[in-house]
Chain A
Amino acid sequence: MAQRIVPRPNEVRFQGLGPGFWQVTAVLVLLCLANAWYFLYGNIDWLMPSASNPASDRAMDVDGLFKFMAVFGNGIMILVAGYVIYFSIAFRARVGDAPDTIGRQVHDSPKLEFWWTVLPVVLLVVLTGLSINVWYKIQFGVAAPGLTAEVIGHQFYFEYRYPGLKTSVFSKTEAMHLPIGVPVRILITSADVIHQWFVPEFRLKMAAVPGLVQNLNFTPLRAGQYSIECTEFCGPDHSLMQGKLIVEPVAAFNKWLETEKASAAAGGGALVLTGGTADAGKALFTTKCAACHNNPPTPFDQKLVGPGLLHITNDPAHPNLVDGKPPTPENIGGIIHDGFTGDIGTMPNAQANGLAGKDIANLVAYLVSLK
């Protein structure tokens, strides 16, 4: 409450708002304008990598937001720091002061308080709107992305899967490839602990969480080689978990993908389904499949991440498997071996799930034994 206090004789006196107040204010406003000009028109590549030559459309969006924030955020900083320093000098106690000298006994100023509350609120409302716009594009992207690729985090490498490619690309030995100008959706999960897939020049990261599939949407714009980093602590070699990303024209990308497919076909072996036991399969189901499929198995519609598998061989509502093939042991084994990507979601292939030897035979024996 602004009390009516009679000014005392020892209260400090000065003209207006203080000696040199308006000159200092003019200097601070000029600094704010210089800051604004620098962030809007200057080269900030040293701060935000490749800002002047964006690697993706989302990078442009995020940089736009960043610049808006730098204009106003740095502006507020300049004003606060500037006034603190100026007031400390202008209103310092002087050597000759009597000990009972006091400052101007002001309690508040409703008008000032109103404006310095309302203006930041307006700023933040604008910022919210701008952020929601970019947020939507990252989370939902376009209705039909040109390419959906998967990233699976492991200790301590990334595994990449592409549609139609039966094997995976591993960051330890190869780069991830993406095409220029194609809207991409990245689906991300983890095979063990939480990781994060981060490409600084795209300004995007997303966590690889066991049991969840998350997504990012963007369109690469510029050819080049980019760094991928893990940015969620994942164990002793977290610092060594990096990868390379190559963005190239669509033709070059397709050629790379064809090369990968050819070597996968050459290396693939026949699926062995004899000799599997349901008990071994049941144990394996608990460790390998229960992250995404309910355990004990449930009817199809009781999904976890993937559908329930209780009636996989005999469900009148779903007579075929998710890829449209009849539920024979060979076809069930085929999905486990190759993985699956479709409307219902994504299932990693056998390689990603760490299935080897008789594992597939055991799992098929178990699933077929369910009624």
Chain B
Amino acid sequence: MHAGTSTTHDTHAAHDHIHPAPEGFVQKYIFSLDHKVIGMQYFIFGLLVMLIAGSFAELVRLQLTDPKGAIMSHNAYNEMFTMHGTAMVWIVLIPLVTGAIGNFVMPLQIGARDVAFPWLNMVSFWIVPVSGVVLFSSMLFGGPHAGWTEYPPISLADGTAGALWCAAIFIVGISSTMTGMNFMVTMIKMRAPGMTWTRMPLFSWATFATALMNMVATVALSAATGALFLEHVFNVPFFDATRGGSAVLFEHMFWFYSHPAVYIFIIPAFGVVSEVLPTFARKPIFGYKLIAFSSMAIALLSFTVWAHHMFPSGLAPWLQLPFMILTYAIGIPTGVKMFSWVATIWGGRIHFTTSMLYALGFLITFTFGGITGIFLASVPVDLHMHGTYFVIGHFHYVVAGGAVMGFLAAIPYWYPKATGRMMSERLGVLGFWLFFIGLNGTFLPMHWLGLEGMPRRYASYVEFAAANPDAVFWNRFETAFSFLMAASIGLLAFNVIWSLKHGKIAGMNPWGARTLEWTISSPPPYYNFKKLPEVTGYPYDFGQPMPYANTDNDIEPYPEYGKTVMPTATPAAVGA
């Protein structure tokens, strides 16, 4: 092993100082420049909106317990699924996976004191609640109705609500783009001395690939929503075929962003799984380089597959072929990662913490969603499945069973680092089983309902139910199981709050993990590292001395899980 030569620290001296501490409530907690506080702000806001958007989903599910539509008018139902999807994609998932976890963890993992542009980071967060207010205000004007994709011409019927929808998405896109740029510069310029790219932890690699997609793809969404806004407000006929525009153009612009967007959801989750599996199997990640580089391959390929969302929509026939082939191609790096993760737990010594359960569950549910994606990638098969419940089943398996499960694995894993307390393991394990069973019960039957032909975005399904007598049973089954997922998220929110006061005190390294964030106190000081540590090796070799020199604290040379959690503190000691 050669000594780490650092190529990124010609300006080392300029970074090697600590900024003065923030003072006052506003500087510390409202307009904080600290990436850790900003990460927690994203987390709290994202979780709150997830509860709202999730409630809309439960209303959608309740409606479908009766084929005539159980509880609302068609218009109200259309508004519910539109707001559920829009809020979940742009106000919950995109901010949570990059803004919450990426912000909190990545600078710590690379041994930096903050991100490259902390003020920009703070602004990037505050843009999200503003965008959320604009989005939800659209419901005061009737709300948008045409799905989270809001295709024109039909979305033009949404009037003011449609214009507000465009504005909200445009605004949140600014946050994503700035965060992407911020993170990329941070990882290129501010890694600790000795941290070469091939010694960087895999969650940070995932954050890098995600930041690239965020930075490059979001402008297409801004163009699409900007143009649609101009059509709403100033009647510019971008998408009006009767006046020289093209309806399909919106779909191209929208999906050019929205396909990379789904990889933005999932690649951070891949990063979390790549950290959690080695830690709780007590062995190295299998195929580190393949996993790191496949994330980059997926990020690049993600820009080439967008029109697989448009196979029946208005493509020149020959154009369907390259998109089909590239969509198959992007399945290869994804599949290779999955096999590497399974090989990671082979021969391990597995501890079933809440995080590990979510990571193991992810391996099963994400694979299922990925396979149904391969079905959809074939043009002829997609011409049957597009627009049916099969697609809804597919994307919820990869989003809820993939991205959200990764997020749920990350929370109990890094919560001790953020707060100095462990989350309740009992509530966590219960929450996992509720979520896992609820997810499979809700979304598995959608696959056969979809193959039978049940269309999506239907507020009532009288004719389908008449032709398929089992449709009502399965819809009710799905609704019942969806409440298990809702209970799980509710339990998570409770656990987050309860553990702040009652969780076991956490030490520096409760999991016996090996990345840099576990070499500083829980919670870390605002400046993270008093001395920038030196990295002497790659992070996933268990049973070896930790590969760091010049660390702030004395770190366990061979961190051991099971010995590193501090005993429950007595009330007197907590205040000390």
Q: How far is B360's CA from A81's CA once the two chains are assembled, in angstroms?
A: 10
Among A69, A105, A212, point to the contact of B542 (Cβ < 8 A). A105
A194 touches B247 (CB 8 A): yes
A280 within 8 A of B: no
> What's the minimum C-beta distance from A244 to chain B, rounded to whole angstroms?
10
B463 touches A227 (CB 8 A): yes
B283 touches A227 (CB 8 A): no
Chain B interface extent, by class: 35 or more
B281 touches A235 (CB 8 A): no
Interfacial chain B residues near A239, Cβ < 8 Å: 69, 74, 457-461
A287 within 8 A of B: yes
A212 touches B562 (CB 8 A): no
State whether A121 and B375 are in contact (beta carbons under 8 Å apart), knowing that A105-B541, A231-B455 are contacts in the complex.
Answer: no
B524 within 8 A of A: no
Q: How far is B240's CA from A192's CA once the two chains are assembled, in angstroms?
A: 10
> What's the minimum C-beta distance from B260 to chain A, rounded to whole angstroms?
21
A108 touches B145 (CB 8 A): no
> What's the minimum C-beta distance from A33 to chain B, rounded to whole angstroms?
18
- CB-CB nearest in chain B for A45: B452
Q: How far is B103's CA from A26's CA once the two chains are assembled, in angstroms?
A: 45
A211 within 8 A of B: yes
Q: How far is B241's CA from A42's CA once the two chains are assembled, in angstroms?
A: 48
> What's the minimum C-beta distance from B425 to chain A, rounded to whole angstroms?
15
Q: How far is B409's CA from A318's CA once the two chains are assembled, in angstroms?
A: 70
Q: How far is B331's CA from A100's CA once the two chains are assembled, in angstroms?
A: 38
Among A105, A193, A240, point to the contact of B543 (Cβ < 8 A). A105
Q: How far is B349's CA from A99's CA once the two chains are assembled, in angstroms?
A: 11
Contact with B along A108-144 (1 / 0, CB 8 A): 1100110011001100100110011011001110000
> What's the minimum C-beta distance from A96 to chain B, rounded to whole angstroms?
12
A205 touches B345 (CB 8 A): no
Interface 9-residue window, one of A83-91, A253-261, A361-369: A83-91
Interfacial chain B residues near A229, Cβ < 8 Å: 453, 455, 463-464
Contact with A along B463-498 (1 / 0, CB 8 A): 110010000000000000000000000000000000
B342 within 8 A of A: yes
B290 touches A135 (CB 8 A): no
How many of chain A's residues have a CB under 8 angstroms from any CB in B?
Answer: 97
B398 within 8 A of A: no
> What's the minimum C-beta distance from A365 to chain B, rounded to whole angstroms?
21
> What's the minimum C-beta distance from A38 to chain B, rounded to whole angstroms?
14
A204 within 8 A of B: yes
Interfacial chain A residues near B525, Cβ < 8 Å: none
Q: How far is B314's CA from A286's CA once the two chains are assembled, in angstroms?
A: 23
State whether A103 and B281 are in contact (beta carbons under 8 Å apart), knowing that A91-B346, A210-B247, A233-B154 are contacts in the complex.
Answer: yes
Interfacial chain A residues near B458, Cβ < 8 Å: 238-239
Of residues 238 to 283 in B, which have CB atoms within 8 Å of A's CB atoms? 241-244, 246-248, 281-283
A131 touches B247 (CB 8 A): no
Contact with A along B363-385 (1 / 0, CB 8 A): 11001100110110011110110
B24 within 8 A of A: no
A14 touches B347 (CB 8 A): yes
A49 within 8 A of B: yes
Q: How far is B244's CA from A3's CA once the two chains are assembled, in angstroms?
A: 63
A266 within 8 A of B: no
Interfacial chain B residues near A210, Cβ < 8 Å: 153, 241-242, 247
B531 within 8 A of A: no
Of residues 427 to 481 in B, which have CB atoms within 8 Å of A's CB atoms? 448, 451-453, 455-461, 463-464, 467
> What's the minimum C-beta distance from B429 to chain A, rounded to whole angstroms?
14
Q: How far is B460's CA from A132's CA once the two chains are assembled, in angstroms?
A: 36
B349 touches A97 (CB 8 A): yes
B119 within 8 A of A: no
State whether A138 and B384 are in contact (beta carbons under 8 Å apart), knowing that A121-B332, A194-B153, A227-B463 are contacts in the complex.
Answer: no
A290 touches B243 (CB 8 A): yes
Among B289, B343, B459, B543, point to the contact of A112 (Cβ < 8 A). B343
State whether A230 and B455 are in contact (beta carbons under 8 Å apart), knowing that A99-B561, A107-B284 are contacts in the complex.
Answer: yes
Lowest 6 CB-CB distances: which A-B pairs, in order? Answer: A211-B241, A200-B453, A231-B387, A103-B283, A103-B348, A104-B347
- Known pairs A87-B346, A102-B283, A227-B453 / 5 extra A-B pairs, C-beta < 8 Å: A76-B371, A88-B360, A212-B314, A239-B69, A239-B461
Residues of A within 8 A of B (CB): 1, 3, 5, 8, 10-12, 14, 17-18, 46-49, 58, 61-62, 65-66, 69, 73-74, 76-77, 80-81, 83-84, 87-88, 91-93, 97, 99-109, 112-113, 116-117, 120-121, 124, 127-128, 131-132, 134-135, 138-140, 192-194, 196, 198, 200-201, 203-207, 209-212, 214, 227, 229-240, 242, 286-287, 290-291, 295
Residues of B within 8 A of A (CB): 1, 69, 74-75, 78, 145-147, 151, 153-154, 157, 198, 241-244, 246-248, 281-284, 286-290, 312-314, 317, 320-321, 324-325, 328-329, 331-332, 335-336, 338-340, 342-343, 345-352, 360, 363-364, 367-368, 371-372, 374-375, 378-381, 383-384, 386-388, 448, 451-453, 455-461, 463-464, 467, 512, 541-544, 558, 560-563
Q: Could you name 26 residue pairs across A and B whose Cβ atoms are closer than 8 Å?
A: A18-B346, A47-B448, A62-B384, A73-B371, A83-B346, A84-B363, A102-B349, A103-B282, A103-B347, A106-B283, A120-B331, A135-B321, A194-B153, A201-B453, A205-B383, A207-B314, A211-B246, A212-B241, A227-B467, A231-B387, A232-B387, A233-B147, A235-B154, A239-B69, A239-B458, A291-B241
